Amino acid sequence: MASPTIVSKLPDVGTTIFTVMSSLAAELGAVNLGQGFPDFPMSEELVSLVDGAMRDGYNQYAHMNGWGPLREVLAEKIASLYHTTINPDTQITITPGGTYAIYTALTTILRPGDEVIVFEPAYDSYIPNVVTNGAIPVRIDLRFPDYRVDWDEVRRKVTPRTRLIMLNTPHNPTGAILRPEDIEQLKSIVKDTGIFIHCDEVYEHLVYDGLPHTSILRYPELMERSFVSFSFGKVYHCTGWKLGYSVSSPELMREFRKVHQFNCFSCHTPSQVGLAKFLTNKETYLSLSAFLQKKRDFFAGLMAATKFTPLPSFGSYFQLYKYDRISDEPDRDFSIRITREYGVATIPVSAFYIDGKDDRVVRFCFAKKEETLEKAAERLIKIN
């Protein structure tokens, strides 16, 4: 009897490096500074609000676009932070996480054969999302070691088939951020073209040293062609809740919702009810930058006693380190070896390049308790 043969849509994709390194860390009992998630507790108040919502009976489907009061409070937040008016009814959709928001935006826009400009190192879901939609990733390396965009190269790679440019600020894994001058370059490239923009801003509040977050939402003239993706998991230290949102123009959002309604349809109701109340206190997000910057600086202080050399990080949960004073091993081998021999897990940055480009740098997540960072540093100091 004939049996079906699956033809993989993603033949070259294995298990994501985050799972690989977290599993290795768990197996070996290593300190896990690899996968990006906090190990400190989330807000008790937010937990009580969600618990209260369940007890108050908010346990049935929410509206497919998301719980109304949550979208309203998000529109208020966007108005106060980014000085723009976003209509909560037509321009915001709550999603099960930032990853889903990104995937849905791409599925909404892309047709087979479209070209998509992706900067590498790239968050690991971007290129597979492009490929699953039958589109073609056009890869451009961010400039090592500051990881800024080379806009002249972007101009050279734009063709009549270019459909989308994918951005991420603050950037995972490098901690680089887009500056207003980058946006001016972007504007001049997309002007009078059919090019869409996706900007991943899941680390919007994690920008340091007093620098502003250059959100695409600040630029109404770009919003007619943009989707911007966010994650509550990253903002409120609850990555396991998998809740986020997408913001776009009314026209683009209408199409996004057509894809969304037949995929997840609506998201976990009590979390949305709890978040709607929690977000009315602006301090819950305004305090994040100082809180995480303190961790970044604390970790940097500890790491100064090791042979790792930091690259600058202006945002996100992450700090890259070169290890050229320790070894010239490929980064994947090095990460696995220090997890096994010294008990600290990191992420090799080559995993963020399709061709495995290896600048011999590893990524550390500093969104951890001070004691976790101290324990890691005590072990890393022993490497020479």
* Residue ranges that bind ligand PMP, judged by CB under 6 A: 36, 97-99, 123, 168, 172, 200, 202, 231, 233-234, 239, 242, 244
Min dist CB 226 to ligand PMP, Å, is 16
Instruction: Map residues 120-159 to x or -, x wherever contact with ligand GLN holds by CB under 6 A.
Output: ----------------------------------------
CB-count exposure of residue 201 (10 Å: 0-12, 13-18, 19+): buried
Closer to ligand PMP by Cβ: residue 200 or 331:
200
* Residue reference for tokens 């690899």: 34
The CA-to-CA distance between both ends of the chain, in Å, stands at 61
Choose among ligand PMP, ligand GLN, none what residue 97 binds, the Cβ cut-off being 5 to 8 Å by kind: ligand PMP
Min dist CB 177 to ligand PMP, Å, is 13
CB-count exposure of residue 52 (10 Å: 0-12, 13-18, 19+): middle
Min dist CB 16 to ligand GLN, Å, is 6
- Residue 281 to residue 297: CA distance in whole angstroms: 27
Q: Is 35 in the site for ligand GLN (CB under 6 A)?
A: yes
Q: Phi and psi (nearest 5°) for 383? A: -80, 125
Which residues, at least 6 apart from 66, have a Cβ–Cβ distance to it below 8 Å?
92, 93, 94, 245, 266, 267, 272
Closer to ligand PMP by Cβ: residue 11 or 240:
240
Choose among ligand GLN, ligand PMP, none what residue 270 binds, the Cβ cut-off being 5 to 8 Å by kind: none
Q: Is 272 in the site for ligand GLN (CB under 6 A)?
A: no
Count CB neighbours of 263 within 10 A: 13
Min dist CB 202 to ligand PMP, Å, is 4
CB-count exposure of residue 328 (10 Å: 0-12, 13-18, 19+): exposed
Closer to ligand GLN by Cβ: residue 130 or 252:
130
Q: Which of 91, 129, 169, 172 binds ligand GLN (CB under 6 A)?
A: 172
Q: Is 316 in the site for ligand GLN (CB under 6 A)?
A: no
- Residue 233 to residue 89: CA distance in whole angstroms: 23
- H or E segment at 293? helix 288-303
Closer to ligand GLN by Cβ: residue 36 or 343:
36
Cα 305 → chain centroid = 30
Min dist CB 307 to ligand PMP, Å, is 27
Closer to ligand PMP by Cβ: residue 168 or 319:
168
The count of C-alpha atoms lying within 13 angstroms of the C-alpha of 253, restricted to the half-sphere facing its C-beta, is 23
DSSP state of 63: P
Closer to ligand PMP by Cβ: residue 137 or 244:
244
Min dist CB 97 to ligand GLN, Å, is 9
Q: Is 36 in the site for ligand GLN (CB under 6 A)?
A: yes
Q: Is 18 in the site for ligand GLN (CB under 6 A)?
A: yes
Min dist CB 36 to ligand GLN, Å, is 3
Closer to ligand PMP by Cβ: residue 98 or 137:
98
Min dist CB 318 to ligand PMP, Å, is 8
Nearest alpha-carbon partner for 124 in 366, 359, 363: 363
Closer to ligand PMP by Cβ: residue 269 or 306:
269
Closer to ligand PMP by Cβ: residue 243 or 273:
243
Min dist CB 100 to ligand PMP, Å, is 6
Nearest alpha-carbon partner for 69 in 281, 283, 280: 280
Which residues, at least 6 apart from 59, have a Cβ–Cβ distance to it below 8 Å?
269, 270
Min dist CB 208 to ligand PMP, Å, is 16
Count CB neighbours of 344 within 10 A: 24
Choose among ligand PMP, ligand GLN, none what residue 35 binds, the Cβ cut-off being 5 to 8 Å by kind: ligand GLN
* Residue reference for tokens 């099960």: 96
Closer to ligand GLN by Cβ: residue 246 or 249:
246
SS3 letters across 333-353: HHHHHHHHHHCEECEEHHHHC
Residues near ligand GLN, by CB under 6 A: 16, 18, 35-36, 172
